[in-house]
Amino acid sequence: MAVPNKGRLHDRTVDLLMKSGLDLGEDWGRKLYVTAKNQDIEIVFVRAQDIPEFINSGAVDLGITGQDQIANSGCKLEEVLELGFGHCRLSVAVPESSKIKTVDDIKDGCRIATSFPKITKRFFDAKGKKVNIIEVSGAAEIMPYMGVSDIIVDLVSSGSTLKMNRLVEIETLVQSQAVVVTSKKALSKSKSGIMDMVNSIRSVIEAESKKYLMADVPTKKLDEIVKLFPGLAGPTVMNISGRDDMVAIHVVIEKNDVYEAVNTLQKLGAKGILTLPIDRLVQ
Ligand code: AMP
């Protein structure tokens, strides 16, 4: 499995793998590859932009990278899980003072600085425009200021870097987030191993948006409370020994609903309300 060795996707990717149950050992941070201590899986730490090619060539079976990198590579790969982080878009941006307001205004010979030369070329080829692509490995935003290019194709998330460099977006080539990606070939060879990994990561992501809530509630309010918590399969209701005026409920709820749920339960006479994090959730 290939994992970004640095950059924006690195920290959260490693966090997800560890929470999914992979034991990378103690000094994984200084290594280029590690063999998980508890599973038959080897992790290689490489650049996010190289991962699509490595999967395509069969050097690795799966990886985590941005959809922008997959799109740029042009490789036909299988995106098996969206990870909900690393959101950004690859956009055409022009200086605020430029006469170019839409892609149609871009003339043949226009100089475009980008770290995404392949997808940029395909995009402008498809529009029949003969542009001059200048490949840079970063800091594309300052290229118009330096006179290196007229416009850029670059990643945008909040848009503040563009603003700081007096650039405006005129069109988006691709929307992106981090994904687990594999290939048809790898799936045909080791589908169950790959899907075990994917399902583990999915269960961590699902669990992170939820909380486990426990409370002792008045028996006479139980019907009302059950309706409030449709939960995954409704609350689990348990007797409390020696009490017939109270029962215990356990339920999985959305993190965002915790505030209201606790207040409502309190108003209905609940006692001993606890909320706990969930490590993994397999539905
Ligand atoms: P990096 O390794 O830091 O150059 O970035 C790797 C990936 O992070 C990119 O290919 C995108 O998928 C993702 N990313 C998310 N937001 C941004 C952003 N604002 N700028 C650059 N990369 C981003």
Entry field: residues in the chain: 283
Closest Cα to residue 176, out of 70, 61, 55, 283? 70
Atom 1 of ligand 1, residue of closest alpha carbon: 7
Closest Cα to residue 177, out of 21, 13, 22, 62? 13
User: Tokens in use for 278?
Assistant: 């969930």
Burial state string for 33-47 with b = 16 or more CB within 10 A and e = fewer than 16: ebebeeeebebbbbe
Instruction: Report the pLDDT value the prediction gives residue 229, as an integer from 0 to 100.
Output: 83
Task: Say if ligand 1 is within 6 A of residue 8 CB.
Answer: yes
Average pLDDT along the chain, 283 residues, taken 10 residues at a time:
96 96 87 89 96 98 98 97 98 97 97 97 97 96 97 97 97 98 97 96 97 97 88 84 95 95 96 97 91
Instruction: Report the pLDDT value the prediction gives residue 39, as an integer from 0 to 100.
Output: 85
Tokens 């995009």: give the residue.
Answer: 123
Burial state string for 184-204 with b = 16 or more CB within 10 A and e = fewer than 16: eebbeeeeebbbebbebbbbb
Q: How far is the CA of 283 from the centre of ligand 1 (A)?
A: 31
At residue 46, φ and ψ (nearest 5 deg) are -140, 175
Q: How far is the CA of 6 from the centre of ligand 1 (A)?
A: 10
Q: What is the pTM of this model?
A: 0.92
Check: CB of residue 210 under 8 Å from CB of residue 255: yes
Task: Say if ligand 1 is within 6 A of residue 66 CB.
Answer: yes
Atom 15 of ligand 1, residue of closest alpha carbon: 86
Instruction: Report the pLDDT value the prediction gives residue 30, as an integer from 0 to 100.
Output: 83
Instruction: Report the pLDDT value the prediction gives residue 19, as an integer from 0 to 100.
Output: 96
Q: How far is the CA of 225 from the centre of ligand 1 (A)?
A: 45
